[in-house]
Amino acid sequence: MDATIFTDIFGYYTAILPMLLILVGALVMPAVYMFTRKKMAVTIASLAFLIASAVVNIIMLHYIDSLGDYIYFGSEDAPYCGIFMYTSFAGLLILLFQVVAFFAILVSGVSSEVTKLHFGAYGALMLIATAGMMFVVSSTDLIGIFVGVEAVSISSYALVTLKRRDPRAAEAGVKYVIIGGLSTALTIYGISMIYGALGTIDLAVIGAKTHDPDFTYSWAFIIGIVTMMAGYGFKIAAAPFHMWAPDVYEGAATPVSLFLATGSKKMGLAVFFKIFLFMFVGVTAVKVEPVQYLFAIVAAVSMTVGNVVAIAQNNIKRMLAYSSIAQAGYILIAMAVMTPYALTGGLFHMFTHVFMKGGAFLIVGALICAGVGEKISDYNGLAKRNPLLAFAMMIFLFSLAGVPPLAGFTSKFVLFSGAIYNDGVMSQWIWLAFIAILNSAISLYYYVRVIKAMYIERPAKGADQKLAIGKVFGFAIAVCAIAVVVLGVYPDIILDPCATAANDLLHWWM
C-alpha cells in the first residue's frame, strides 16, 4: 500500500495528516470522558487515534523513502508554502513521539497516580503535546518550530500540575512554568535577532544565507544564536539549564515524567538538529568551529554534572532525571561533531533512550501503584519479591550505562565512534569521546547501586511478601525490555532509517 490513497483524498494536507488525526482525537477526548466517565474509555479512544496516526505515518514514511521525495504542505497556487514539509527525518521522529505517547497514555489509564477527575482533559493534553512535537519536526520555519514547542510546553505545565492535591506537584508546576516562561522569552528574543540579522525566518533561506562565502557574523546574529541556544537548552535540560528537570520529574505523576523525559527532551534535541545543523553544516571550518566548541562544552558539562550529581540521589525518580541530563549530553555530541554519521548515532541513541529510560520509568510507576515507595532503599530485596521485574529493571539500567549486548551499548558505540573517527582520519573531537566514555564508567556506579539494592540487600521487615504488578504495566515493560535486547543485537532495523533521515537532513549542504 502506498501513500497515494492519502494524497488523493487529502491533497495538500497529507503532509500534516498524522498530526490532524491526533488533534481530532484531542478534541473529542473531553466528550468521550463526559459520556462514559471511565478512564479506560478515554485511554482506549486515545490509543485508537494514536495507532491510526502511527499506521498512516508508517505508510507515508515508507512511501517517501522508496520515492526519495518529500510531501509538501501548500495549496493549488503555491504547492510549497514553506511551513510544513514531511521528510524522512520528520517521519522517523514522528514515529518516535508516537511510541512515547503510546507508552505514556497506555499506563496512565491504569496508574493510580493519575486521578479519574479531569481524565478527559488529561488525555486531550497528552495528545495535543504529541501533536505539537510532530509539528515541530515537520516544520521548515522558525514560526512553526516556536509555536509547536510552545504547544508542548504549555500542555506539559498543565499535565505536571494535574496531580493537584500533592504539594510536590504544585511546587513542581510553579517551577516548571517559570523556567518554561524564561526559556520561551530567551528563544523568541533569539529568533527576533536572527530575523533582524538575516531578514527571514524560513530555515532553507537562512541556510542559503549562512552558506554564502561572503557571510560574516554580525553582532545581532551572535546574540540570536546564543539566546536561542540557551532557550532550547532549557527544553532539553542540558547543564547549566537543567535545574528544573529533577524537581519536575519528581513532582509529576510517573507517566507524565516518562512523557517529559523521553518525549519532550527529544523534541528539544530535534529542534537543535533542525535549526543549527541547517545553519552550520558545511560552512567553512573557521566560521563553524566556535559554534562546535560551544556545543562540545555544553555536552561535556551536561554529562559530567548529570552523572556526578546522580550519584548523590536517594530518590529513584530524581536519579533517573539526572541520568536523563547526562544522556542529553551524550546526544549533544552529534551537535558538536556535525557529520551525518554522528547525527545517525544521535538519532539512534534517541530511539534506544526511549525504550531504556521509558522502561525504567514504567517500572517505577508500576511499583508506586503496587505500594512501593520512590526511595532506592525501598527497592531492597526486589529480586526476591518479583524476580522478573527486578531482571527487567537490571536490563534497563545496564542498557543506560552501556553494557553490551544491550541497546544502550550499540547506540553509544555509534555515537562515540562518530566523535573519534571521521572520514578515515582521527577526529579533533576525540577528547569529547574520552569524557563521554569516562562518564559512562561513572554512571555505572549509581546504576549498580540500584541493582545491588534489588539483588543483595534484604527486604525491610514486613515488606518481604510477593509483589504483583498490573497486567498493562507488565505488557508495556515487556515490550520495552524486548526492544532493548533486540535493538542491541540487531540494530539495523532502526539504524538504517536513522542513517536515511540523517543524510536526508544534511544532504542540502554536504
Q: Kindly state whether residue 264 participates in binding other proteins, applying the rule CB under 8 A.
A: no
Question: Taking every pair of C-alpha atoms in the chain, what is the biggest distance, in angstroms?
Answer: 74
Q: Kindly state whether residue 432 participates in binding other proteins, applying the rule CB under 8 A.
A: no
Q: How near is the Cβ of 150 to other proteins at its closest, in Å?
A: 5
269 to 308, contacts with other proteins by CB under 8 A? none
Q: Kindly state whether residue 191 participates in binding other proteins, applying the rule CB under 8 A.
A: yes
Q: Kindly state whether residue 309 participates in binding other proteins, applying the rule CB under 8 A.
A: yes
CA distance 464 to 368: 16
CA distance 250 to 184: 23
Stretch that binds other proteins, among 36-44, 126-134, 154-162, 404-412 (CB under 8 A): 154-162
Neighbours of 74 (CB within 10 A): 17
Burial of 173 (0-12, 13-18, 19+ CB in 10 A): buried
Task: Tell me if residue 86 falls in helix, strand or coil.
Answer: strand
Q: Kindly state whether residue 170 participates in binding other proteins, applying the rule CB under 8 A.
A: yes
* Closer residue to other proteins (CB): 227 or 344: 227
Cβ-based neighbours of 214, under 8 Å, separated by 6 or more: none
CA distance 314 to 67: 51
Stretch that binds other proteins, among 15-23, 60-68, 107-115, 164-172 (CB under 8 A): 164-172
229 to 248, contacts with other proteins by CB under 8 A? 246-247
DSSP 423-456: TTEE-TTHHHHHHHHHHHHHHHHHHHHHHHHHHT
C-alpha to C-alpha distances, 295 to 205, 261, 329, 398, nearest whole angstrom? 23, 21, 9, 27
Q: Kindly state whether residue 455 participates in binding other proteins, applying the rule CB under 8 A.
A: no
* Closer residue to other proteins (CB): 38 or 175: 175
CA distance 433 to 457: 35
Contact (Cβ atoms closer than 8 angstroms) between residue 128 and residue 24: no
* Closer residue to other proteins (CB): 284 or 377: 377
Q: How near is the Cβ of 190 to other proteins at its closest, in Å?
A: 8
Q: How near is the Cβ of 231 to other proteins at its closest, in Å?
A: 10
- Interface residue with other proteins among 18, 91, 207, 251 (CB under 8 A) is 251
Per DSSP, what are the bridge partners of residue 375?
315
Stretch that binds other proteins, among 87-95, 163-171, 410-418, 438-446 (CB under 8 A): 163-171
Contact (Cβ atoms closer than 8 angstroms) between residue 299 and residue 337: no
Stretch that binds other proteins, among 152-160, 207-215, 390-398, 444-452 (CB under 8 A): 152-160
Q: Kindly state whether residue 201 participates in binding other proteins, applying the rule CB under 8 A.
A: yes
> Cell triple for residue 421?
573517527
- Interface residue with other proteins among 250, 306, 410, 444 (CB under 8 A) is 250
Stretch that binds other proteins, among 190-198, 337-345, 434-442, 480-488 (CB under 8 A): 190-198
Q: Kindly state whether residue 78 participates in binding other proteins, applying the rule CB under 8 A.
A: no
DSSP 95-147: HHHHHHHHHHHHHHTT-TTS-STTHHHHHHHHHHHHHHHHHHHHB-BHHHHHH
Per DSSP, what are the bridge partners of residue 422?
425
Number of chain residues interacting with other proteins (CB under 8 A): 44
Q: Kindly state whether residue 115 participates in binding other proteins, applying the rule CB under 8 A.
A: no
Q: Kindly state whether residue 175 participates in binding other proteins, applying the rule CB under 8 A.
A: yes
Burial of 380 (0-12, 13-18, 19+ CB in 10 A): buried
Stretch that binds other proteins, among 7-15, 73-81, 162-170, 417-425 (CB under 8 A): 162-170
Q: Kindly state whether residue 184 participates in binding other proteins, applying the rule CB under 8 A.
A: yes
Residues of this chain that bind other proteins (CB under 8 A): 143, 146-147, 150, 153-154, 157-158, 161, 164-168, 170-175, 177-178, 180-182, 184-186, 188-189, 191-193, 195-196, 199-201, 246-247, 250-251, 309, 312
